[in-house]
Amino acid sequence: MNELFFLVEEAIEGGYTARALGEGIFTEGDTMDELKANIREAVHCHYDNEADIPKIIRLHLVKEEIITI
């Protein structure tokens, strides 16, 4: 696997959450920089073999917005 995709959302209580698509990796951070560092760490911890670690991590940012009519 060369790429790993994360779904990134703003947490209700503040900060951000990130969930890998197709893998059991979940992490969070108070800032986007902290989240990125936590994603890197979580990915390295998830894979036992260094050769299995994806070369590219893509972040898909989701922002939920509600409008009234």
The torsion angles phi and psi of 17, rounded to 5 degrees, stand at -120, 150
pLDDT of residue 1: 66
Nearest of 55, 46, 11, 50 to residue 32 by alpha carbon: 11
- Across the chain, which has 69 residues, the per-10-residue mean pLDDT values are 93 96 97 98 94 95 90
* CA gap 69, 59 in Å, rounded: 32
pTM across the whole model = 0.88
Distance of CA 54 to the CA centre of its chain: 13
